[in-house]
Every structure is written in structure tokens, then in C-alpha cells.
A and B are shown apart, each in its own frame.
Chain A
Amino acid sequence: MWREWIPFWQGGLSPYGGDVDLLFIGLLVASSLVLGLLFVLLALFCIRYRAGNQVDRANHEAKSWHWEVGWTTASLVCFLLLFLWGANVFFEIYKTPQGELTVFVVAKQWMWKVQHAGGQTEINALHIPVNRPMRLVMASQDVIHSFFIPALRLKHDVVPGRFQDVEIEAKRPGHYHLFCAEYCGTDHSGMTGEIIAMEAPDYAAWLRQQGPGTPLAQEGSALFRELGCSGCHGTGSKVRAPLLEGLYGKPVPLADGSTVIADDKYIRDSILLPRSQIAAGYDAVMPSFEGKISEDQLLRLVTYIKLLGENHP
């Protein structure tokens, strides 16, 4: 944004970090001006018009409406500008994630469990490469948590029962605090971790060093058979169920006439609440997996189904 033209301005640690900081400074300056004016007036009036001080008190402002209109309009204009500025940056923070790298985060009382696509697992830590946007898909196993990285000016609640995705990107290598910002019970203040932002080669080395874990999609594929999904959704099945190959990212016509895009959220909902969105032309025969499947398993399945989509364009 236009802050690049401000001399000596250090951009923030995330793509929008500097914008948020600038907004903060803007708010601070505006508030200080108002507060300064108010305090000066208060002090001035209190001293000058203290009881017993002989000053001219005659002809005090009787008609007040033009003052009222004046300061009401001034506040309104000022507030509107701040509103627009804040909204503008807000959409930068919560823009639809574009990063081609996806990392899953499962929050549970009281830890952050991170799973990289290659199968690497971390607890209360997240390694990311610098200057490369990453898509975080977050889910909660129990209560509401909130994923908060003060240094990156990023926060998003992790509400159980849904996926929420945000984009994360760090501009400089370093170790940054990760906090749980939504009160979640006994050890809420212990639900902290670290974001480790690394240069690309260091990140690649770190990934290798973690050893070859089983990729999530491969584990998902195993689950797909174990949980019996393949019995209906597999090719050559006797039950008439939608094929999942090439599904991900495509529009799906529904029985009620509407259309949805088959994203992570749709796949998740279809597993847990199969009757809520029925694909057009199919019977509602799928049982719900609500309560039978953990968030960890769920995200493996979603990764697998997503892979099926990518392999069959």
C-alpha cells in the first residue's frame, strides 16, 4: 500500500503487519489530538472560571445548535475515515488464502497440533518458510480456541464444528509467540507455542530432518478404506454414491437446486452432516460420521479427497 512511500518506515513482519501498525499510529494520533484538545480546554476553563476569579462571564454562548452541528459533523467525518481505513486493512488480513502450501492445525485443550502435508507433526510449534504465503486450515477438537500471533498481527478463533482457514506469511526469519487468545479452561495460559519462520533452504532442510513421515493423504487413503468410505464411493461399488475423483474445487449441483463449490468445508460437512447438502440425483443414504471420527482423522480424509481431485483434473 501507500505506506511504502513513507521514509524510514519499517514494514511489519507480515504482509499487512505494517498496515496494521500504521493504522494504530493513525488512531493514536487522532485520539491524542482529541484528548489533548479536551484536556487543554478543561484545564483552561477550570483555571480561568474558578469560583472567585474575577473574569468576564457575561454573554456566554446561548444558542448552541451551530456548535452541536459542528462537533457532531467533525466526529462523524473523522470516525468514517477511521472506519474505512480499518476495513480496508481488515480485508487484507482475512483475504481468501491463496498459498499453495497447506498446513493443518488442530487445537485441543491445551495444545496446538500442527500437521504438515508431508506428514511432519509438531506440537505447539509451527515452522514456516519466509516470504511464502501458507494456508492454515484450523479445527478444534473441543472448545473455542483462538490462534494468535501478535508479531504477525494475526488472530482467528478456532471454533469447533468447522474448518477455518487463514493465510499466514512472515517477512523475516525469527521466533514468534503463538498464544491461545480465547479462554479455553484450566491451562488456557499454557496453550502457547512458537512460530519459527525460516529462510527457504533452512525450511527445506528442517522438513527433511523431520524424517519421512507418512504423508497425510496416504494416511487418509488408509482411513478411506478402514472407515468403509470406499465401499460406496470407490469405483465399481454397487451403491450409487457420488464419485470423489476430480471433485475438489468443482461446483456441485445439489438436490435443492442450488450449487456449492466442493471445498474443505463442503467435504467436512458432507462427512459429518451428510443429509444437510445432498448432491443432485443421489439418495440420502450416507450415515453421519459425527462423533465417530476425530479432527485428526477428518483432516486426513479431506486431504486425501482433495488429492483425488488434483489427480483427476
Chain B
Amino acid sequence: MSEIDYLNASYTLRSWFLTTDHKRIAILFFASLTVFFFIGGAAATLIRIELATPQADLVSADGYNRLFTMHGVIMVWFFLIPSIPNTLGNFIVPLMIGARDLAFPRLNLASWYLFMLGGTVTLFAIFAGGIDTGWTFYTPFSTLYSNSYVLVAVSGVFIVGFSSILTGLNFIVTIHRLRAPGLTWYRLPLFIWSLYATSVILVLATPVLAITLVLLAAERFFGVGIFDPRIGGDPLLFQHLFWFYSHPAVYIMILPGMGVVNELISCFSRKEIFGYKFVAWASLAIAAVGFLVWGHHMFVSGQSLLASLVFSFMSFIVAVPSAIKVFNWTATLHKGSIRFDAPMLYALAFIGLFTIGGLTGLFLACLAYDVHATDTYFVVAHFHYIMVGGMVTAYFGGLHYWWPKITGRLYSEGWARAAAILIFFGFNLTFFPQFVLGAEGMPRRYHVYPPEFQVWNVLSSGGATILAAAYLLPLFYLGYSLFFGARASANPWNAPGLEWQTASPPPEFNFATQPMVTRGPYQYSTDFEPEPQNA
């Protein structure tokens, strides 16, 4: 029982906060992200409670604006973007490719410190007085009219951007240089392919965000005329720059989720992913074309009609590789041997919710309908289906799948399945009504609203209550498993991936001997041996 692994190798604070072990850094990220997830979630809960009635009752108008800004900023930059890459990715990537660590272990630690610094600065802005610009920081509101802590919050986001860049850089170099002997590109698990695509976007797009935020600060602080027309600027320039980052950032937030789902679908249907190469290249296609669609956020802004036409066309094109993925996942199930463990429930939920999110994305890419639907709850519902229904669901799926590897413990399968099902229903009840609200014309970011919208808002708020409770469940049963869960074997899912060929939890340097790879990633034994879990 006293095998030395990465967790019990040392217990000092120093050994955690100055560690260069990718597994410990993943744990540091995991703990910090969990805190941010629940802060952002608390803001969302307050928003939904406020919206249960058409009048203002819980918070003031300024309070409401600060809540949704805080929810957006925290969830986008301090949860969704780093979620899978920095926790599961950090932990699993070196294990999956048979490496001892990431290429730059100290850069990895620096990434966490930058994340924490950015997070602290942003939290300071939020608790010192808040920000009321929305997570999009649109000018000239943010540069001239907002009386809130814009500069501080923008600094926080600026800093955390460097954390993203360092992580992206680290992954790219690691995947190029540290693959085990015999691990060719087409033998890589698809999780690696999607993280590679994600990293390319992180490295190329994040600097543009940094530049944009510096320009914003220059205008707000020094009065340099860049975005404000009164001093010679152009407000739409900000939108172009911001969405040049923020639309690719949407793919940063979904590609890793797609990557996780490949692993889950394949494992729990005991089959190779159908159309491996198509799925792999679809990730890179999304990353590339994703840079050419930003103008679809600006169809009603007064940009030229021709530009709108081109951006609409490109937005339809970028949907094709996503469609390819969905079809391939479905085809993978055909003639599989499917078991419905908690991770698989999350994966199936992901396919359904992501597809709804993707299809409603086509509504918004479609020019004439976007004129009606943009800036309404239709958009809010659409991107929550992708971000929460997609990414967060995949995050939970991956977390459950690799939990035995990360912690060396098994969680309660019964509770895990119950939570997965509850999250699915809570999610749909929260966000489906918002499609109806948007189609009927309720604008987003409204603190008070006309009474005819109340019915759907009440449904949505009711769903949010269920969803909030469902998201708390894993905190308890996963937390419980840390101390009282049964010990996990090295390979509880009987999976062929390299990460399962070492102990759970892995030793400090991952593998006792350098693994060699002679086959593709998904060589599952055709008949599923039922693995008893402690239900």
C-alpha cells in the first residue's frame, strides 16, 4: 500500500507551491478553477433569482449589471478557457503520450502563478466595487461612461491571457517533441489532437486580446482616441479586435470538450473512433476557419453588408467540421458494446446538447434571422448550450473518467449517474426556455422585463435551481471518495491508452520504463469485461 506516487511523495507546502510536476500543477489548477466555478455560478444563481419576476426586487440595476459582468468574466477567462486544458490536459497529456512531464515544467508552474495573479486582480475589481461593462467591454461605454473598476478588471484579464499563452506554447512543444517512441501523429489519441488545435488558437489569438485591452486602457486612462468617436476613434474597431480574439476563444472553449468526448465514446462502446482522421483534421479545420468568422457578431452593427455576407458564409462553413464530428461519434456507437457508466452519460449528454447548440448557431449565422435574434436570449441560450451543455458537461465527463487515475480512488457510481442525469435535466430546463424568450424578442442583459415574458423566465429560474444543486453534488461524492473511496486499480476501465498503463495515482515520473507504442489509440478488446465499481 505504500507505493510512492506523486501525491504521497512529499507533503510540504513547498512541494506543492514550487512543484514542477505537471500532475501537481494540474491539481493546483483544479482547486483554483473549482473556486472560480462556484463564484461564477453563485452570480448566475442570483441573476436567475432576480429574473423570476419582471420587476427589480433582489438587486439594483447597477447590482444586476455587475452580477452578469462578473458571471461572464469569471466563467470565460477563469473557468471555461483554462478548464479542460489546464486541469485534465495538464495531468493527462504527458501520460497519454508517454512522457515524464510537459516540455517546460517551470513555465507550467509560471502559468499557474499568472492565473492566480490575474484571478486575484480580477476578484479585487469585483469585490472592491465591481465592473458593469459586460464581459465584452464594449467601447465607448467601457472607456468613457462606466464608473466601475474597468482598468483593474482588464488588467486581470490581460495577465491571465499570458497564462493561456504559456500553456498553449507548452502543449504545442510537448506534443511535437515528447511523444513516446512509435507514437506517430495518427496513433495519438484524439484528445491530443484537439488540445493541439486549442493550443494553436491560444497562442495566436490571445495576443490580440492583450493588444485590444492595452488600447482600451490607453483610451480610458490617457484619453488616447482609439475607440471613442468624440476623440477621433471608432467604436466598431474595438468590436473587430475583440471578436477576432473572442470568437476563436469560443473554439478554445469547445475543442477540448470534443477531445474528451472522443475518449469517452470510444472507451464505453469498446470501439475505435469512426473516421479517426476526419475527426482529427476537423479539429484543426475548426481552429483555422474559426479565425475567419468574427464579424458574425456584428451583423446589425452597421458593418458593410458585403462583410456581413462573407462572415455569414464562413460561419456556415465552420459548422461543417463540427457536424462531421457529431456524425462520427454516432457512427462509433454502431455495433459497439455500450456501457452506461457516469462518464458515458456525460458524453451522450454532450452530443445532444452540443448538437442543439450547434444547430441554433446556424440560426444566428443566418443573416436575416440574426437581425431579429442577436442580443436576445436566443443568443444566451445558444452559447450556454455550447459552453455549459458542451464544455462543462465534457469537463465533468472527463473528470469522472480520469478521477481514478488522478486520485487513485473510485467514486460512487450511483451518485455519479444521478448527478449526470440531474445536470442534464436541470440544464435543459434552465436554457431551453431561453430560446423561446429570445425568439419572442426578449433582449439579453435586461434587469426588468415586460410581464409577458415571465412564464418562460420562471421555468428557466426553476431549472437553474436544479442545475445549481446538481453541480454541488459532485463536490460531495467526489470529495467523499478522496478519503473513503475504494482504491482504484491501474486500469479500471480496461482501456488501452498509455495513461492507464501506469499505476493509479501515477508515480512522480509517470512511467517506470519508457513506454513504446506499436498500435493506434483505440484498440479495445471487443467484448466488454464488466468491471465492478463500488456502486
Q: Are B234 and A161 in contact (CB under 8 A)?
A: yes
Q: Are B450 and A183 in contact (CB under 8 A)?
A: no
Query: Which residues of chain B from 369 to 384 have a CB within 8 Å of any chain A CB?
Result: 369-372, 374-376
B319 within 8 A of A: yes
A216 within 8 A of B: no
CA distance A153 to B370 in the complex (A): 10
B459 within 8 A of A: no
Query: Which residues of chain A from 243 to 301 have a CB within 8 Å of any chain B CB?
Result: 290-291
Stretch at the interface among B134-142, B162-170, B463-471, B502-510: B134-142
B230 within 8 A of A: yes
CA distance A282 to B298 in the complex (A): 38
Q: Which chain A residue has the least Cβ–Cβ distance from B270?
A: A51
Q: Are A150 and B372 in contact (CB under 8 A)?
A: yes
How close is A126's CB to chain B, nearest CB, in angstroms?
A: 16
Whether A189 contacts B371 in the complex (CB less than 8 A), given A67-B275, A144-B235, comes out as: no
A206 within 8 A of B: no
A2 within 8 A of B: no
CA distance A186 to B234 in the complex (A): 23
B449 within 8 A of A: yes
Q: Are B359 and A90 in contact (CB under 8 A)?
A: no
Contact of B366 among A58, A83, A180, A182 (CB under 8 A): A83
> Interface 1/0s, chain A 68-91, versus B by CB < 8 A?
100110011001101101111111
Q: Which chain A residue has the least Cβ–Cβ distance from B337?
A: A51
Contact of A162 among B302, B371, B443, B445 (CB under 8 A): B302
Q: Are B235 and A181 in contact (CB under 8 A)?
A: no
Q: Are B374 and A86 in contact (CB under 8 A)?
A: no
Q: Are B445 and A157 in contact (CB under 8 A)?
A: no
Q: Are B369 and A49 in contact (CB under 8 A)?
A: no
Q: Are A162 and B348 in contact (CB under 8 A)?
A: no
Q: Are A35 and B355 in contact (CB under 8 A)?
A: yes
Q: Are A45 and B338 in contact (CB under 8 A)?
A: yes
Q: Are B278 and A86 in contact (CB under 8 A)?
A: no
Whether A155 contacts B371 in the complex (CB less than 8 A), given A181-B376, A188-B65, comes out as: yes
How close is A165's CB to chain B, nearest CB, in angstroms?
A: 10
Chain A residues with CB under 8 A of B368: 16, 19-20, 23, 85-90, 92-93
Chain B residues with CB under 8 A of A50: 337-340
Whether A64 contacts B372 in the complex (CB less than 8 A), given A31-B362, A290-B230, comes out as: no
Q: Are A186 and B132 in contact (CB under 8 A)?
A: yes
Query: Which residues of chain A from 126 to 185 have a CB within 8 Å of any chain B CB?
Result: 142-144, 146, 148, 150-151, 153-157, 159-162, 164, 177, 179-185
Q: Are A177 and B450 in contact (CB under 8 A)?
A: yes
A202 within 8 A of B: no
> Interface 1/0s, chain B 324-347, versus A by CB < 8 A?
101110110111111110000000
Contact of B445 among A16, A46, A49, A183 (CB under 8 A): A183
Q: Are A87 and B309 in contact (CB under 8 A)?
A: yes
Whether A79 contacts B319 in the complex (CB less than 8 A), given A35-B355, A49-B337, A146-B300, comes out as: yes
Q: Are B312 and A144 in contact (CB under 8 A)?
A: no
Stretch at the interface among A36-44, A115-123, A230-238: A36-44
A222 within 8 A of B: no
How close is B385's CB to chain A, nearest CB, in angstroms?
A: 12
How close is B204's CB to chain A, nearest CB, in angstroms?
A: 26
Max count, chain B CB within 10 A of own CB: residue among A31, A80, A143: A143
Q: Are B371 and A87 in contact (CB under 8 A)?
A: no
B interface residues, how many (CB within 8 angstroms) = 85
Q: Are A27 and B441 in contact (CB under 8 A)?
A: no
Q: Which chain A residue has the least Cβ–Cβ distance from B268?
A: A51
Query: Which residues of chain B from 99 to 158 have a CB within 8 Å of any chain A CB?
Result: 132, 134, 138, 140-141, 144-146
A60 within 8 A of B: yes
Q: Which chain A residue has the least Cβ–Cβ distance from B274?
A: A64
How close is B535's CB to chain A, nearest CB, in angstroms?
A: 16
CA distance A180 to B442 in the complex (A): 10
A61 within 8 A of B: yes
> Interface 1/0s, chain B 450-487, versus A by CB < 8 A?
10000000000000000000000000000000000000
Chain A residues with CB under 8 A of B363: 24, 27, 31
How close is B494's CB to chain A, nearest CB, in angstroms?
A: 12
Q: Are A46 and B61 in contact (CB under 8 A)?
A: no
Contact of B331 among A67, A146, A154 (CB under 8 A): A67
CA distance A90 to B371 in the complex (A): 8
CA distance A72 to B65 in the complex (A): 42
Q: Are B331 and A61 in contact (CB under 8 A)?
A: yes
Whether A150 contacts B278 in the complex (CB less than 8 A), given A86-B368, A159-B302, A187-B61, comes out as: no
Contact of B348 among A20, A42, A185 (CB under 8 A): A42
CA distance A109 to B145 in the complex (A): 10
Contact of B359 among A35, A182, A188 (CB under 8 A): A35
CA distance A16 to B445 in the complex (A): 27
Chain B residues with CB under 8 A of A39: 352
Q: Are B441 and A150 in contact (CB under 8 A)?
A: yes
CA distance A189 to B59 in the complex (A): 14
How close is A250's CB to chain B, nearest CB, in angstroms?
A: 24
Q: Which chain A residue has the least Cβ–Cβ distance from B236?
A: A159
CA distance A296 to B146 in the complex (A): 23
Whether A159 contacts B278 in the complex (CB less than 8 A), given A38-B326, A87-B367, comes out as: no
Contact of A68 among B62, B275, B369 (CB under 8 A): B275
Chain A residues with CB under 8 A of B320: 72, 75-76, 79
A190 within 8 A of B: yes
Q: Are B335 and A49 in contact (CB under 8 A)?
A: yes
Q: Are B275 and A148 in contact (CB under 8 A)?
A: no
Contact of A42 among B312, B317, B352, B439 (CB under 8 A): B352
Q: Are A164 and B302 in contact (CB under 8 A)?
A: yes
B269 within 8 A of A: yes
Max count, chain B CB within 10 A of own CB: residue among A16, A42, A86, A144: A86
**Residues of B participating in the A interface, judged by any CB pair closer than 8 Å:** 61-62, 65, 132, 134, 138, 140-141, 144-146, 228-230, 234-236, 269-271, 274-275, 278, 299-302, 305, 308-309, 312-313, 316-317, 319-320, 323-324, 326-328, 330-331, 333-340, 348, 351-352, 355-356, 359-360, 362-363, 365-372, 374-376, 439-441, 443-450, 526, 528, 530
Cross-chain pairs A/B with CB under 8 angstroms, 21 sampled: A23-B369, A41-B330, A45-B336, A49-B335, A49-B336, A56-B335, A61-B335, A68-B278, A71-B324, A90-B299, A90-B305, A143-B144, A144-B235, A153-B372, A154-B371, A154-B372, A160-B235, A182-B138, A183-B444, A185-B145, A188-B446
Q: A150-B441, A154-B372, A184-B141 are in contact. List 19 more A-B contacts (CB 8 A).
A: A20-B369, A27-B369, A45-B334, A50-B339, A64-B274, A72-B323, A75-B323, A76-B320, A80-B316, A89-B368, A109-B145, A146-B300, A146-B375, A160-B140, A181-B374, A183-B445, A185-B146, A189-B61, A290-B230
Closest 7 pairs (CB-CB, A-B): A161-B229, A150-B441, A86-B366, A89-B368, A90-B367, A189-B446, A60-B335
